[in-house]
Amino acid sequence: MSKAIVSTLYDSDVFKMACRQFDKAADAISLPEAIRDRTKYPRRCLAVSLPVKRDDGSVTVFEGYRVQHNLSTGPAKGGIRFHEHVTLGEVGALAMWMSWKCSLVGLPYGGAKGGVIVDPSKLSETELEHLSRRYMQEMVNFIGPHTDVPAPDVGTNEKIMGWMMDTYSNHVGHISPAIVTGKPIAIGGSQGRREATGAGVAYLVKKYLADMKIPLSKTTVAIQGFGNVGSETALALANYGAKIIAISDYTGAFYNAKGIDLARALKYVRYQKVLRDFDGAEPITNEQLLELKCTVLVPAALERVITDKNAAKLKCRVLAEAANGPTTNAADKIIDARGDIELIPDVLCNSGGVIVSYFEWLQNLSNFYWSRDEVLTKLFGILDKAKDSVDAQQKKFQFSRRLAALTLGIQRVADAKAARGLFP
């Protein structure tokens, strides 16, 4: 038996959190020692410096990363994050979670993630385009439609994916839409991709509420984060009949017991860029939002916001993890012990995004495009199957729902690695 000899390359609280989750799941399914470290640690990473010419003629060098956690089950897949607090450790943890997620929902993908240390709101549109193109230029030899396929994440969007696709296509000399997903529809994006993550979160929430016999008409929802995932989750849940009583972004949180007018909030954000000073609801803090009495709490921003400080104070019935890694391991223990909150774990809850990214990639590779109805019907079919498999695993082994989801995802990756064998 041997143990991995690892550096401090990914050292961070969030990477340690992902590793502890892995260890617990590996113990629960008695994963053989010989396959553990190979399954756990990222396969490879690339760190790049990105000089960008600013509008005033000066040059700023940004730092960016791409981590490919697993390539045993197919090309690696995962978003690119533009955020001022990105670290290699965070990108490593997010890549690891992508592996378990893709495997859990049965996609032929490994996990990856990318990131750049930047606050995109401080760049002009031209500077953002230069940075996005420069990042892709540096990635050209590391990624590819059959190696690693990026997508949007926090701070990136369709437009950025379009610039990246154009940069890669110019480099290889022909159009290569399958290099990224989450692109504009005009250049090979999929119908339904923009709303896919939120639509998937809302669909799973609806299914779990039905299991709990809670009618949607009596459901109140608080959502942290009003970007792509938070706003689309809000819209989809409101369409199902739920009342959205609180929303937030990094500038503040807003509460309205009668229900937030989402059309007004979306219009406000379109013009103001952020929710700051939104006048359609009462201002509260992001901490207060998490502790509001509501049926469903949806963290849809960053990692590690539900902690041992607030887990005992949550007053929701369902905790739907639209964000990746929003709940620390210590908070998980508290929630488990409380037993009164149904947790929909991130690897299941937000998997709608990568599922429709997979559909986009398939459409690009075959040059045959699907309707929105086809996309959503296929998405919900995969989510139904994934939910059933998690619920069955939970029941069979008396696991928490997170442990059930992680053990399924991890086991399939380990099986693929074992089946492929190891270069001597």
* Catalytic residue list contains 113: yes
Tokens 């993550």 -> residue: 197
Which residue, 229 or 414, has its beta carbon nearer to ligand NAD? Answer: 229
Only segment of 4-12, 13-21, 47-55, 225-233 that touches ligand NAD (CB under 6 A): 225-233
CA 404 to chain centre: 19
Which residue, 31 or 116, has its beta carbon nearer to ligand NAD? Answer: 116
For residue 267 the two structure tokens come to 């219009």
What phi, psi does 154 have (nearest 5°)? -55, 130
What phi, psi does 255 have (nearest 5°)? -125, 135
CA-CA distance, 15 to 100, in Å (whole number)?
15
For residue 420 the two structure tokens come to 């492929």
For residue 424 the two structure tokens come to 């001597």
Helix ranges (H only) for 122-261 are: 125-139, 158-172, 193-211, 228-240
Among 65, 100, 226, 278, binds ligand NAD (CB under 6 A): 226
Only segment of 65-73, 172-180, 221-229, 395-403 that touches ligand NAD (CB under 6 A): 221-229
CA-CA distance, 197 to 123, in Å (whole number)?
26
Residue 149 forms beta bridges with which residues?
77
* Window 298-317: residues binding ligand NAD (CB under 6 A): 300-302
Minimum Å gap between C-beta 223 and ligand NAD is: 9
364 is a site residue for ligand NAD (CB under 6 A): no
What phi, psi does 318 have (nearest 5°)? -125, 130
Minimum Å gap between C-beta 224 and ligand NAD is: 5
CB atoms within 10 A of CB 55: 11
* Window 260-289: residues binding ligand NAD (CB under 6 A): 286
Print the binding letters for residues 60-99 with ligand NAD: x by CB under 6 A, - otherwise. ----------------------------------------
CA-CA distance, 279 to 260, in Å (whole number)?
10
Which residue, 21 or 324, has its beta carbon nearer to ligand NAD? Answer: 324
Minimum Å gap between C-beta 118 and ligand NAD is: 13
Among 17, 353, 363, 390, binds ligand NAD (CB under 6 A): 353
- Residue 352's identity, in one-letter code, is G
CA-CA distance, 245 to 223, in Å (whole number)?
8
114 is a site residue for ligand NAD (CB under 6 A): no
Which residue, 36 or 195, has its beta carbon nearer to ligand NAD? Answer: 195
Pick the catalytic residue: 113, 183, 243, 387?
A: 113
Which residue, 132 or 286, has its beta carbon nearer to ligand NAD? Answer: 286
Q: 358 and 383 in contact (C-beta within 8 Å)?
A: no
CA-CA distance, 243 to 241, in Å (whole number)?
7
Among 191, 248, 295, 407, binds ligand NAD (CB under 6 A): 248
CA-CA distance, 157 to 152, in Å (whole number)?
5
The count of residues interacting with ligand NAD (CB under 6 A) is 24
Minimum Å gap between C-beta 38 and ligand NAD is: 25
* Window 143-172: residues binding ligand NAD (CB under 6 A): 152-155
How long a stretch of residues is the chain?
424
Taken in order 239, 243, 245, 246, is the CA torsion positive or negative?
A: negative
CB atoms within 10 A of CB 145: 17
Among 90, 148, 195, 249, binds ligand NAD (CB under 6 A): 249
* Window 310-349: residues binding ligand NAD (CB under 6 A): 322-324
Which residue, 31 or 347, has its beta carbon nearer to ligand NAD? Answer: 347
Which residue, 271 or 368, has its beta carbon nearer to ligand NAD? Answer: 271
Contacting residues for 382 by C-beta, under 8 A, at least 6 apart: 105, 106, 355
405 is a site residue for ligand NAD (CB under 6 A): no
Name the residues annotated as catalytic: 113
Question: Which residues form the interface with ligand NAD (CB under 6 A)?
Answer: 152-155, 197, 224-230, 248-250, 286, 300-302, 322-324, 350, 353
